[in-house]
Amino acid sequence: MDATFVERLDLGGPGPTVAIKDTIAVAGTRMRAGSHALDHLPPEPEHAAVVAALLAAGCHIVGKTNLHEFAYGVTGINDVTGTPVNPRFPDRVPGGSSSGSAVAVAAGAVDFALGTDTGGSVRIPAACCGIVGFKPTYGRLSRVGVMPAVSSLDCVGPFARDVATIERAMAMMDATFHTHASPSDPVLGVVTLDADATVADAFARALARTGIRHERVTLASFAEAYDAGLTIIAAENAAALGTYAESELLGADVRARLQAAMLVTPAQVAAAEVVRARFIAEVDAVLARVDALVLPTMPIPTLTLEAGRDAKAAIRATAFVREFNLSGHPAISLPLPAEGGFAPGMQLVGRRGADGALCALARAVEATLGG
């Protein structure tokens, strides 16, 4: 078995082929979350709600995919169960945590795949592997049967090679999701941020190529929202996974991060929630006058496998994504043409609940980029 799939399956009908991240329950299979620490768990008794919906729609589920251990990392490097190879850029990380799902799509092994996104874990690997990754509005897709069971940040989201397939996947999992016509004369709000020069230049060229009207916007609490997102993900992972914090079965990186998460205090979480409320209001206010926010998916180029072992460099990759887990707004990462051995990503962020409209806008943008 390669490092992309942890288990091959043959479930469902003749429809689109699908891969499922191994934090999403598939009945009769064991959920290991990229870790040997969960080897003791019995097979799942039921499908996750999203898996059941895909099977009901006639999809063909071909396997469960590997990930950054415990879904608690952004590089996809996993020394326990193996690191999926980025098919477009083999010397660079596949991105995490939903590494195997992104790689399966980028390699053409499936039509689409499911991941989960708590702090960028769909959008980051999508950007790293040069595909499309969508984080819906928080709560849009059911998390029943998804690990961890409780999260105020985590969203199930699809990967695909184009936006139309993302829309098809969403409609299969959510009867309220409808495809929209491309918007006429939309306006984008370009978030003022500091990115690596290579990324900033590629993003600016792509934005100009879209021909879409845009204006500069500022989110005053952006940096605080990033820190608040880190605080809340740590507290929630400590609550869900803290019993494994000292396990020698964990990889060193995840064990260290989980041990640090155990130190987060209720007062820190309360302060982060204050930031969350303020940031939601700021994003909503800007989205009242533009159709979507636009910004690079990552502030840095996709890390090499060697550089990905630097924890500080790795976490910096999430500097432009985890804020929208905190706020709950839908966000989609589109691939840009390859640049210097990596594929930059362009992220669009829409109004809460307006997932169909955001995807329609992303489809219009995608048509101009030529990835």
Contact yes or no for 328/351 (Cβ under 8 A): no
**How far out from the chain centre does Cα 322 lie?**
9
> Which position among 121, 151, 221, 333 bears the catalytic label?
121
Query: CB pairs under 8 A, 24+ apart, for 335-338?
Result: 335/126, 335/127, 335/130, 335/131, 335/132, 335/369, 335/371, 336/202, 336/203, 336/206, 336/369, 336/371, 337/202, 337/206, 337/369, 337/370, 337/371, 338/88, 338/130
Strand, helix or coil for residue 55 = helix
The string of DSSP letters for 209-236 reads HH--EEEEE--TTHHHHHHHHHHHHHHH
Q: How far apart are alpha carbons 234 and 226 in whole angstroms?
A: 12
**Bridge partners (DSSP) listed for residue 304:** 92
Residue 123, φ and ψ in degrees, nearest 5: -70, -35
Contact yes or no for 202/344 (Cβ under 8 A): yes
In terms of C-beta density within 10 A (0-12 exposed, 13-18 middle, 19 or more buried), how is residue 44 classed?
middle
Structure tokens at 31: 């959920």
Reply yes or no on whether 333 is catalytic: no
Residue 308, φ and ψ in degrees, nearest 5: -65, -15
> Which position among 35, 97, 101, 221 bears the catalytic label?
97
Reply yes or no on whether 64 is catalytic: no
Reply yes or no on whether 184 is catalytic: no
Contact yes or no for 31/12 (Cβ under 8 A): no
> Which position among 21, 99, 151, 333 bears the catalytic label?
21
Contact yes or no for 99/67 (Cβ under 8 A): yes
Catalytic residues: 21, 97, 121
